Chain A
C-alpha cells in the first residue's frame, strides 16, 4: 500500500515537473542598476545588498540547482516574481524620486522588523542572514541615501 502510494506520488511529481512555470529571467547587464549607477554607496553596503537581497530583488538571480525541480520551482517562481514586483534594484534608476524614497523607507522597515531576508531564504542560502551590525548599517544607509536625494 505504502509502496503504491509513493509510486503514485513520484509519478505526480514527474507530471508536475512538466507543468511548472519557467524561472524568472536572469540578466547580468542592467543599465538602471542601483549599485552600478551609484558608486558612492559604501563597499560594505554593496556587498550586503548583493549577498542578501539581490538574489530576489534584482535580475541577477543565482538559481541553486534544485530551484527548477517541482514543487520547489513553484515556490521559487512565485517568490522571485513577487520580490521583483515589490522592488527590483536592477530597475532602480527607472523609478521616480518619490518611489525611491518609499522603497528606501520600506528597506528600513523590513530590516528592523526582521521580515527580510525571508527566513526560508537564509535557511537555504548560507551566509545570507544579516548580523545586527549589518542591519544597523543598512538601515542607516537607507535613511541617508534617501535624505541625500532631497538635499
Chain B
C-alpha cells in the first residue's frame, strides 16, 4: 500500500518542480523584455542593504510595499515605473529614506552619502530615459 504512494510522490515531484522553474523562466523573460531597465550590481547591493527589507513582495509593512515594491518595479507599466523611480530619487535626495526611526533600530541599514548619491542618480537616469521629446 505504501509503494503506490511513493511512486505517486516520485512522479509528481518533477512535475511540481518543473512548474516552478517554468514560472521563474517567464518572469525572467518579462524582465529581459524591457532591455532599458537595468539594475547594475553595485546598485542592487545598495538596494538590498538599505531598501529591499521593507520594499519587497513579502514585506510585513503593507504601506511600504504599496508605495514601492522592488519585486514589481521591473514589470510595472512605464508611467508608473517612471513615477516610482523619480520618487526614489526624491526621497533619497531629501534624506527621507530609510526612515530615521528605522535606522535607530538598524544602524547598519543606513545609506552612506556616496551610496545615496549613486542610487539617486541611477533612479533619475532610469526614469529620464523614457522621456522622448
Contacts and interface: CB of A to CB of B under 8 A. Distances in A.
Interface stretch (B48-56, B109-117, B124-132): B124-132
Contact of B77 (A102, A106, A147): A147
B70 to A, nearest CB: 15
Given A102-B87, A109-B67, A150 B79 contact: yes
A105 B83 contact: yes
18 contacts: A97-B131, A98-B82, A98-B83, A98-B86, A101-B86, A101-B127, A102-B83, A102-B87, A102-B90, A105-B80, A105-B87, A109-B66, A112-B66, A113-B63, A143-B77, A146-B80, A147-B79, A150-B131
Interface of A: 97-99, 101-106, 108-109, 112-113, 143-150
A112 B80 CA distance: 14
Interface residues of B, number: 20
Interface string B29-69: 00000000000000000000000000000000001001100
Contact of A99 (B63, B86, B128): B86
Nearest to A107: B83
Contacts of A109: 66-67
Contacts of B82: 97-98, 101-102, 146, 150
Interface of B: 63, 66-67, 77-80, 82-84, 86-87, 90, 124, 127-128, 130-133
Contacts of A145: 79
Contacts of B131: 97-98, 150
Nearest to A104: B83
A99 to B, nearest CB: 7
Contacts of B67: 109
A101 B82 CA distance: 6
Nearest to B88: A102
Pick from A97, A99, A143 the residue with the most CB of B within 10 Å: A97
A103 B86 CA distance: 10
A70 B46 CA distance: 49
A54 to B, nearest CB: 21
Given A101-B83, A143-B79, 14 more contacts: A98-B86, A98-B128, A102-B87, A105-B83, A108-B80, A112-B66, A113-B66, A144-B79, A146-B79, A146-B83, A147-B80, A148-B79, A150-B131, A150-B132
B32 to A, nearest CB: 20
Given A109-B66, A113-B66, A150 B86 contact: no
